[in-house]
Amino acid sequence: MFHFGIHFPYLQAFLGVLTLYFWLTLERPALFWSGFFTALFWFWWIGLSFRYYDLAWMIPFVIVGVGLVYGLIFWLIGFLGHPVLRAAALGVMEWLHPMGFDWFRPALLFTGSIIGDDLWRLWIVLAALALFAAMRGRRRWFAPVLIIGALHLPQESPPPNLSVKPVQTSLNQRDKWDPRYLNLIIQTNVTSIKEAQREGYKAVVLPESAFPLYLNREPELVEELMDISRKITIVTGALYHEKGRSYNSTYLFQKGSLRVMHKVVLVPFGEEVPLPSWIGEWINDIFFKGASDYRTASEPSDFFMLGHKWRNAICYEATSDRLYEGDPEYMVAISNNAWFLPSIEPSLQRLLLQLQANRHETTIYHATNGPITAVISPH
């Protein structure tokens, strides 16, 4: 509903509860198809990125493959015949990451509804529904009363009064890496930075790979950005290359100096092949023209800006639990959603960021190429 701008917190909560109840009570064959079509409708967009590797023929296979993976998972849950056992399985599904993919979170059913999206609230709902399904007679109707303990009226906190401007761009993914457009993209980015400065902002955030090049190999451009950063702090995405290794990175230009922070959690089959190295190398050779996996930093990076400590996050990893260790108060997240347009991916990412903001009391400044650029406050 969020994708279409529909917001009915009570209806969303009811539909979420109904979905969980069906998962607890469906027969095993029906549960397989429920998992299959749930994944199909949530994640059909994953295959769209293969267009840019000249592998568009793989899109239907990827879509069906994702559906089959989750269909199999639900089918296996179906062997747990008792509703309480199924509830336990669904309650820990957040920690099940097929091929490193962690975007299936049942609690997301309740993000923005009158039931909170904390994990413990999900467990309360599952416990209430499991008891209702397992019990017989009139006493079973007391079980749903437990859901009252999971209620949460969302109240959006006002965004902090920080002078930070997240910039939204709208570059087509194919044009973004076309050398013919490189100078225009660079000049557009510089113009956006200077415009933010004229508007009185003290910091500006550009999207992931806003500069589609190895920025550390462009000394003149780096020098220009360092000079501008004496007047406004610049956070921007770009690639980094050193000693034969490539990184997806965030560049922080501040007071005439530069700091580079590398991504920690890579996109499965986008930036790394989450398989044993010999299989990964074979897949890279056959499907990705010999490109090697990106390298990563060992730990999330924090930095200071405008008197506050910030956590750095790049696209996919901004939804990962690992980036929220220590409950950072502020986060800069930069994304390139053009890989998956047109689709529901930006909306799903926005909901996942809201879920993490709610759970960790983190305010997220999210700059995107494509929708949805926003300042996300905890609810």
Which residues are designated catalytic? 208, 263, 315
- Quick one: DSSP state of residue 46? G
Length of the chain counted residue by residue: 379
Asked if 356 and 319 touch (Cβ cutoff 8 Å), the reply is: yes
Phi and psi, residue 166, nearest 5° = -80, 130
Cα gap 294→246, rounded to integer Å: 5
Q: Which two tokens stand for residue 341?
A: 């347009």
CA 87/CA 138 separation, integer angstroms? 22
- Give dist(CA 255, CA 234) in Å, integer: 9
User: How far does CA 364 lie from the centroid of its chain?
Assistant: 12
Handedness of CA 257, 305, 300, 247 (dihedral sign): negative
On the 0-12 / 13-18 / 19+ scale of CB atoms within 10 A, 227 is exposed
Measuring CA to CA, which residue among 249, 245, 206, 200 is closest to residue 225?
A: 206
DSSP state for residue 72 in the 8-state scheme: H
- The amino acid at residue 91 is G
Q: Using an 8 Å Cβ cutoff, are 236 and 251 in contact?
A: yes
**124 phi/psi in degrees, rounded to 5:** -65, -45
As given in the structure block, the two tokens for residue 323 are 């980036």
Give the three-state DSSP class for 66: helix
Cβ contact 130:84 at 8 Å: yes
83-91 vs 59-77: helix crossing angle, rounded to 10: 130
Do residues 241 and 251 touch, judged by C-beta distance below 8 A?
no
Q: How far apart are CA 299 and CA 313, in angstroms?
A: 11
Which distant-in-sequence residues (6+ apart) come within 8 Å of 347 by Cβ? 2, 3, 371, 372
